[in-house]
Amino acid sequence: MANTMKRLPALEISPEQNLSRYLQEIRKFPMLSHQEEQELSRRWAKDGDEAAANLMVTSHLRLVAKIAMGYRGYGLPVAELISEGSVGMVQAVQRFDPDKGFRLSTYAMWWIRAAVQEYILRSWSLVKTGTTAAQKKLFFNLRRLKSQMKAYEEGDLTPEHVEQISTRLGVSEQEVINMNRRLSGPDSSLNAPVRIDGDGEWQDWLEDDSQTQEQRVSDFQELIRRRELLAGAMRGLSERERMILTERRLQETPSTLDTLSLSLGISRERVRQIEVLAFKKLQKSVKNALIEQNISH
């Protein structure tokens, strides 16, 4: 089966250009019978027939529009929702297996909804809203459940409502509280004025936690000093001590005692003893070097 389609269904106009005209245009595409659908899907699956795939997509664009319209309450342009749903329709056609026995529309509904929902989650807020399946379910069902419970008031939900929603959707009560607050409070610009008179912006009150240039220079100099101390102390060790200490303590993935034992032809215990002795020498050398530096300063 071909893995990708080289082109999307060819329409003279897209929903972003003129939504009303687009909705009129897609009504002109004929609906497919079950037999026609089966034949076209087999032509696509067997021969990679793009014309067959395009016919399957265009015949279901009304379904795409209907599903996308159901997500108008999230404040995003309907045309963009339809465009994303069309992408999901293309993915459904690519993966549809006519031998499973069900209609393409039944299979495609999942792909269309998934594409639209993913777009909403990406675009609705600058803050990542839902990552797990349960959080996504909460995002797309919270308003409906609040409406059923007649919880129209702004602000936090009552403990009873939180408990009911948590139980019905299988998420924690804290997740319900957090999502409700997130949906109730849209993103605000950091360039918005703090006061009505426009004197000062919210970003002016943000504190920069990053290091200053002086701190970065100081940290870099301290790093160099420590490396010099370590290098000087390492020179005071024997070649075998340096090798064992480097392999055991200075590598991202330390060598095992067994590996070094085989490499050096000595016992594991002897390798361990040399490592401990070398480390003590290193500590003493660095300590003495620091004392000498303090005296000289």
Asked whether residue 13 is domain-assigned, the answer is no
Residue 180 or 46, more confident: 46
Asked whether residue 101 is domain-assigned, the answer is yes
Asked whether residue 7 is domain-assigned, the answer is no
Shared domain for 265 and 239, answered yes or no, is yes
Residue 124 or 18, more confident: 18
pLDDT, position 196:
60
Asked whether residue 210 is domain-assigned, the answer is no
Average pLDDT over residues 91-109: 88
Range of the domain at 110: 19-123
Average pLDDT over residues 237-265: 90
- Identify the CATH number of the domain in which residue 25 sits: 1.20.120.1810
Percent of the chain with pLDDT over 70: 76
Shared domain for 26 and 100, answered yes or no, is yes
Residue 169 or 61, more confident: 61
pLDDT, position 240:
92
Shared domain for 79 and 99, answered yes or no, is yes
- Identify the CATH number of the domain in which residue 249 sits: 1.10.10.10
Average pLDDT over residues 173-202: 64
Shared domain for 91 and 157, answered yes or no, is no
Shared domain for 162 and 103, answered yes or no, is no
Handedness of CA 130, 133, 134, 138 (dihedral sign): positive
Q: Helix 257-264 crosses helix 239-249 at what angle (to 10 degrees)? A: 150
Do the Cβ atoms of 31 and 56 come closer than 8 Å?
Answer: no
Domain count, the chain: 3
- What's the CA gap between 278 and 286, in Å, rounded? 12
Shared domain for 29 and 103, answered yes or no, is yes
E strands within 193-242? Answer: none
Do the Cβ atoms of 59 and 27 come closer than 8 Å?
Answer: no
Shared domain for 35 and 100, answered yes or no, is yes
Structure confidence at residue 257 as a pLDDT band (50, 70, 90): very high
pLDDT, position 6:
41
pLDDT digits (tens, 9 = 90+) for 192-246: 565 666 566 655 655 666 667 777 888 888 888 888 888 888 888 999 999 999 9
Asked whether residue 192 is domain-assigned, the answer is no
Shared domain for 38 and 62, answered yes or no, is yes
pLDDT, position 251:
85
Shared domain for 101 and 56, answered yes or no, is yes
Asked whether residue 128 is domain-assigned, the answer is no
- What's the CA gap between 242 and 245, in Å, rounded? 5
pLDDT, position 123:
74
Average pLDDT over residues 73-79: 81
- What's the CA gap between 16 and 25, in Å, rounded? 14
Shared domain for 28 and 114, answered yes or no, is yes
Asked whether residue 29 is domain-assigned, the answer is yes
Shared domain for 100 and 137, answered yes or no, is no
pLDDT, position 9:
46
Asked whether residue 203 is domain-assigned, the answer is no
Shared domain for 230 and 259, answered yes or no, is yes
The helix or strand, by DSSP H or E, that contains position 290, with its residue range, turns out to be helix 268-296
